[in-house]
Amino acid sequence: MDKCGCDDYASPIDADIARKDRESYHSSGPDVTTQQLLDMIEAEMDDGVTVLDVGGGIGVIDQELLRRGAVSAVLVEASSAYLDAAREEIKDADMTDRVAIVEGDFVRRADDIDAADIVTLDRVICCYPDAEGLVAASASRAKRLYGIVLPRDRWYVSLWMRLENVFKRLRRDPYRAFAHSNTKIDAQLAASGLNVRAETSGRWWRVVLYERVTVPRGSTT
């Protein structure tokens, strides 16, 4: 089921990238960091939970968590190429009755999206200019678990992103990457009632699972 909208989002994803992501998933499974996040979630989740996958791409997290006991998922995505691929993935996996697709910018759509037991943002925060708004909107919809993959707070990560943005600007590509502060994100999530439950870090990426300890004021739950 689709809910469509048109948002002015500069996505770096085209049909070729979406196709390669599908081929990689079918041949090798989830990416390393995605698998780490899935393993953290699986260790804490119960059967029958609901999932909200923000910036869900081709729907890897949705498919994997549904196979691991989740009952339903909502995939929110702003890239038209990823949306087309996700629809095909979900159809091929015979999960069309269990996955709802919301097209567009999650922050703009958030008021119309229900809370879920598990909320995920896999390499999404680094693609969005307003990290505070994105984290606030998504965290308020996490009933129990909140999982993210984001760039680490390291000088070489920030340098790499600045160079990438220069290259994009020279090519007149509107997409920009953002190295948002991990410390600020942790503090914002703690203030919203989500504490770190598990985490791991590589050279570039940090994978974190938060668990709700208090219900936030104004919660949609």
pLDDT band at 172 (very low <50, low <70, confident <90, very high): confident
pLDDT at 11: 63
For residue 174, being part of any structural domain is answered with no
For residue 104, being part of any structural domain is answered with yes
CB within 8 Å of 120: residues ≥ 6 apart:
37, 41, 51, 52, 53, 54, 56, 61, 146, 147, 148
Reduced DSSP (H G I as helix, E B as strand, rest coil) percent helix, strand, coil of the chain, to 5: 40, 25, 35
pLDDT of residue 37 exceeding 70: yes
pLDDT tens column, 109-129 = 999 999 999 999 999 999 999
For residue 172, being part of any structural domain is answered with no
pLDDT of residue 3 exceeding 90: no
For residue 173, being part of any structural domain is answered with no
The stretch 43-54 carries a mean pLDDT of: 96
CATH number for 145: 3.40.50.150
pLDDT at 217: 58
CA distance 110 to 113: 5
pLDDT at 2: 35
For residue 193, being part of any structural domain is answered with yes
For residue 219, being part of any structural domain is answered with no
Other Cβ atoms within 10 Å of 115 Cβ, number: 15
Compute the mean pLDDT over every residue in the chain, rounded to the nearest whole number. Answer: 91
Give the total number of structural domains in the chain: 1
Q: Look up the domain containing 83 and give its range.
A: 2-149+181-212
pLDDT of residue 17 exceeding 80: yes
For residue 41, being part of any structural domain is answered with yes
For residue 121, being part of any structural domain is answered with yes
pLDDT of residue 4 exceeding 60: no
